[in-house]
């Protein structure tokens, strides 16, 4: 089978170089979302997930604890990444909230809206991991399966490229 010359070339195409330059420019300009691309944040995020799970285990039985953990993770990440819009501080020397990001959610701001970047992949992978681990430890109980799948579906669908800048039924639109 013949391969296209661009696949065999070791150098990046001009489009890929332009995308990398745009990502670099965006990371400098948008301080609101650049911290999500930091591997240090990824470690803190994983630590907080494990710590919250340990705390829930102290107070809830196995099925309730795992399901509560998954649902709380879904609620917090949906609110923080897919609901709240704007930037908490000015990134362009203007007044707070008066930036080009004020109509975008944090998820839409990550890496300038470019899909499938390491930060977006990591956040999606963690949501999937929390869901799969929860299903395993709840032994696929039908009730908890339904609750966990519903919570996961909401955040997973919100992370998909076709949902970028989409406001369902006009909810959360300005």
- By residue range, what is the domain housing residue 63? 39-168
Phi, psi at 151, each rounded to 5°: -60, -45
Whether 164 maps to a domain, the answer reads yes
Q: In the predicted model, what is the mean pLDDT of the chain?
A: 79
Whether 134 maps to a domain, the answer reads yes
Bridge partner residues of 134 (DSSP): none
Whether 14 maps to a domain, the answer reads no
Whether 97 maps to a domain, the answer reads yes
Which pLDDT score is estimated for 96?
52
> Is the pTM for the entire model greater than 0.85?
no
Bridge partner residues of 85 (DSSP): 105
Q: How many domains does the chain have?
A: 1
pLDDT tens-digit map of 63-74: 899 999 999 999
Does 112 have pLDDT greater than 60?
yes
CA distance 64 to 11: 52
Whether 124 maps to a domain, the answer reads yes
pLDDT tens-digit map of 4-29: 444 444 444 556 666 555 555 545 55
CA distance 30 to 26: 6
């Amino acid at each position: 089978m013949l391969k296209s010359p661009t696949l065999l070339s070791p150098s990046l195409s001009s489009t890929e170089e332009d995308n990398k330059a745009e990502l670099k420019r965006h990371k400098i300009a948008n301080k609101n979302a650049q911290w999500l691309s930091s591997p240090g944040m990824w470690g803190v995020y994983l630590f907080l997930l494990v710590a919250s799970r340990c705390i829930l285990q102290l107070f809830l039985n196995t099925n309730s604890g795992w399901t509560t953990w998954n649902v709380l993770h879904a609620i917090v990440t949906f609110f923080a990444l897919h609901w709240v819009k704007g930037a908490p501080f000015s990134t362009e020397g203007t007044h707070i909230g008066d930036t080009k990001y004020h109509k975008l959610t944090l998820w839409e701001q990550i890496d300038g809206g470019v899909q499938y970047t390491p930060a977006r992949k990591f956040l999606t992978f963690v949501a999937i991991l929390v869901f799969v681990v929860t299903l395993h430890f709840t032994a696929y109980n039908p009730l908890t399966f339904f609750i966990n799948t519903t919570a996961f579906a909401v955040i997973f669908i919100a992370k998909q490229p076709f949902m970028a800048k989409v406001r369902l039924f006009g909810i959360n639109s300005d």
